[in-house]
């Protein structure tokens, strides 16, 4: 059984070792980037099939963001939408024979969680100012400062381990079943993995939204968004 | 068979971690599904929203079991003491 925690480099690019998850990540990035570029070249007011799907996706992300953050989703749409789309494609990339999802490795998940962590800091500071953001650590009283700082670290860590554990355990179980029972037996578990992958991508995106929402604070929302809500 | 004491204890600890770590999430998932069934039986028209929320909640609960699995794998494959 392969060790799920360490990696062997496939080849070296100069001094940098390149591993299989990095290659898969590059492929997904190229696929998503070129796909998005191609799909948004010919946008029209009477959308075709592809544009309708894209608009549906963007509207769904917007609705989710507006419900959670209670403000205009335009500033957060790119980050959260990209994270969700990338995770969905990455978790489902195990459908391609011979490909192991890059999220089944600790490093990819750590990179994504650090992006969310940095975005949390950046949005918090840009929304409340450096002083105002630091002051939120002392709420409800200064006694809570160590706990609030620890919370920032542990929740980032749990974001990493949640995604890693769920995707990796799916790959691991399929590997064990294949070695025990052989062809066609792991198919129901692969179907379960598709569900798990989609749910984990959704949860990662929702948690990123919630963390950013907690960092920017609950100032009174813009008047227009409040009036449209029942 | 030359397994030293650290390896034996690690394997035992990994098995114990997974077996006991699975109890809590199993009970919690049972309660969550039972509550969702109850709610769907009372209000069948809300089944869509309820099952969506249920899946997300179940994934959250399941994460606790996954944590113990990660601990077990750390003990088996990346044991700092072996």
Q: ipTM score of the complex?
A: 0.75
| The predicted structure's pLDDT at residue A178 | 87
Residue A71 lies in a domain: yes
Which of B60, B62, B75 has the most A C-beta neighbours within 10 Å, making it the best mutation to test the interface with A? Answer: B62
Kindly determine whether residue B63 and residue A5, on different chains, have CB atoms separated by under 8 Å. no
pLDDT at A14 over 70: yes
Q: Please, are residues A101 and A201 in contact by the beta-carbon 8 Å criterion?
A: no
Could you tell me which CATH class the domain B2-77 is placed in? mainly alpha
B60, B69, B77 ranked by CB distance to A5: nearest: B77
Question: How many domains does chain A contain in total?
Answer: 1
3-state secondary structure of A103: helix
Which of B17, B69, B74 has the most A C-beta neighbours within 10 Å, making it the best mutation to test the interface with A? Answer: B69
Percent of chain B with pLDDT over 70: 95
How many CA atoms, within 13 angstroms, populate the side-chain half-sphere of residue A27? 14
Question: Mean per-residue pLDDT for B67-77?
Answer: 87
pTM: 0.84
B56, B67, B77 ranked by CB distance to A203: nearest: B56
Q: What's the DSSP call for residue A137?
A: G
Residues listed for chain A: 230
Taking only the tens place, the pLDDT of each residue in B1-52 is 567 888 889 999 999 999 999 999 999 999 999 999 999 999 999 888 888 8
B55, B66, B73 ranked by CB distance to A4: nearest: B73
pLDDT at A228 over 60: no
The CA distance from A193 to the nearest CA of chain B, in Å, is: 12
Q: CA-to-CA distance for A50 and A91, rounded, in angstroms?
A: 22
3-state secondary structure of A9: coil
| The predicted structure's pLDDT at residue A60 | 92
Question: Mean per-residue pLDDT for A76-102?
Answer: 92
What are the residue ranges spanned by the domains of chain B? 2-77
| The predicted structure's pLDDT at residue A82 | 94
Residue A43 lies in a domain: no
Q: Please, are residues A163 and A112 in contact by the beta-carbon 8 Å criterion?
A: yes
Question: A199 to chain B: which residues are within 8 Å by CB?
Answer: 55-56, 59
With bands split at pLDDT 50, 70 and 90, how would you rate the model's confidence at B77?
A: confident
**With an 8 Å Cβ cutoff, is B67 touching chain A?**
yes
Domain that residue A34 falls in: 13-38+48-216
Taking only the tens place, the pLDDT of each residue in A29-54 is 999 999 999 888 888 888 888 889 99
**CA angle A57–A63–A69, rounded 5-degree value:** 130
3-state secondary structure of A195: helix
Q: CA-to-CA distance for B31 and A101, rounded, in angstroms?
A: 32
């Amino acid at each position: 059984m392969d060790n799920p925690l360490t990696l062997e480099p496939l080849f070296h690019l100069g001094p940098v070792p390149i591993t299989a998850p990095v290659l898969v990540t590059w492929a997904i990035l190229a696929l998503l980037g070129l796909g998005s570029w191609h799909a948004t070249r010919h946008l029209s007011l009477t959308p075709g099939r592809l544009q309708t799907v894209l608009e549906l996706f963007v509207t769904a992300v917007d609705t989710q963001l507006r419900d959670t953050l209670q403000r205009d989703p335009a500033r957060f749409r790119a980050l959260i939408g990209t994270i969700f789309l990338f995770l969905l494609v990455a978790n489902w990339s195990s459908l391609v024979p011979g490909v192991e999802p890059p999220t089944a490795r600790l490093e990819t998940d750590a990179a994504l969680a650090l992006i969310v962590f940095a975005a949390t800091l950046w949005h918090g500071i840009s929304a409340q100012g450096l002083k105002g953001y630091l002051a939120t650590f002392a709420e409800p009283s200064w006694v809570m400062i160590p706990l609030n700082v620890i919370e920032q670290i542990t929740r980032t860590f749990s974001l990493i381990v949640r995604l890693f554990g769920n995707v990796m355990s799916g790959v691991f179980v399929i590997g064990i079943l294949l070695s025990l029972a052989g062809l066609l037996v792991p198919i129901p578990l692969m179907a379960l993995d598709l569900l798990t992958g989609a749910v984990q991508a959704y949860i990662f995106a929702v948690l990123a939204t919630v963390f950013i929402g907690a960092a920017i604070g609950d100032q009174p929302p813009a008047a227009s968004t409040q009036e449209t809500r029942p | 068979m030359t397994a030293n004491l650290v390896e034996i204890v690690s394997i035992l600890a990994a098995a114990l971690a997974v077996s006991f770590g699975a109890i809590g999430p199993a009970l919690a998932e049972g309660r969550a599904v039972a509550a969702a069934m109850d709610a769907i039986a009372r209000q069948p028209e809300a089944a869509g929203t309820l099952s969506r929320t249920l899946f997300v909640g179940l994934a959250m609960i399941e994460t606790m079991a996954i944590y113990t699995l990660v601990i077990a794998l750390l003990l088996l494959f990346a044991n700092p003491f072996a």
